[in-house]
């Protein structure tokens, strides 16, 4: 579900009031003298034209709230995954299920990035595209008591990827791994692939504290 957007004005006073101020100043001389009818009509036309001209500027002045990072599309060049938001989202899901939070781990981030890049380079969704998971963990030198991996492709936002994993029993079980305390996540854009974005999530329990 898309987030609600709120609009806020930069100034409490309408920009149209400034136009009114400029057009409605009395002419020099008698301060109480009303404008002649033809001038009133002309001012009315000017005011209408001025209000219409100000509409685009007024719309531009409205402040747009920043879109939450988990709703931002990563299906374009230069897109950057908000890993902190991912850790917060997954930790919240785990805590709602009576489990501990997970923290980002630099080495797991690197491993997740490597797996996503390997899948993107071959345009293939496959755990074994660059070696099976256990072997990749072993050769990385990461000392893990346990580790699990989720992959996916075709989801353009973090929210979509999370929902896809949550709604799949095996992937949900990995996110709710009881011993996991660290995680790494990556999303790699592949412009020539029908999937556009390849995702990897690795969660692990370090064999020793670091």
Residues of the chain with pLDDT under 50: 1-40, 42-44, 46-60, 210
Task: Report the pLDDT value the prediction gives residue 201, as an integer from 0 to 100.
Answer: 98
pTM score > 0.85 for this model?
A: no
Task: Report the pLDDT value the prediction gives residue 63, as an integer from 0 to 100.
Answer: 57
State the Cα angle at 170 between 166 and 176, rounded to 5°.
60
Q: Which two tokens stand for residue 94?
A: 């785990």
CA distance 113 to 91: 20
Task: Report the pLDDT value the prediction gives residue 33, as an integer from 0 to 100.
Answer: 39
Task: Report the pLDDT value the prediction gives residue 2, as an integer from 0 to 100.
Answer: 33
């Amino acid at each position: 579900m898309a987030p609600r957007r709120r609009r806020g004005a930069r100034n409490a006073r309408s920009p149209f009031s400034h136009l009114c101020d400029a057009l409605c100043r009395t002419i020099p001389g008698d301060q109480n003298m009303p404008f002649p009818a033809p001038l009133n009509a002309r001012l009315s036309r000017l005011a209408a034209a001025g209000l219409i001209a100000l509409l685009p500027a007024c719309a531009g002045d409205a402040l747009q709230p920043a879109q939450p990072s988990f709703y931002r599309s990563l299906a374009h060049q230069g897109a950057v995954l908000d890993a902190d938001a991912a850790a917060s989202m997954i930790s919240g899901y785990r805590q709602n299920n009576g489990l501990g939070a997970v923290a980002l781990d630099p080495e797991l981030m690197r491993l997740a990035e490597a797996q996503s890049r390997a899948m993107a380079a071959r345009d293939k969704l496959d755990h074994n595209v660059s070696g099976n998971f256990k072997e990749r963990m072993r050769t990385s030198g990461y000392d893990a008591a346990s580790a699990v991996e989720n992959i996916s492709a075709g989801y353009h936002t973090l929210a979509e990827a999370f929902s896809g994993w949550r709604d799949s029993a095996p992937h949900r079980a990995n996110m709710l791994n009881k011993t996991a305390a660290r995680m790494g996540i990556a999303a790699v854009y592949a412009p020539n692939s029908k999937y556009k974005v390849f995702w990897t999530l690795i969660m692990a329990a370090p064999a020793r504290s670091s």
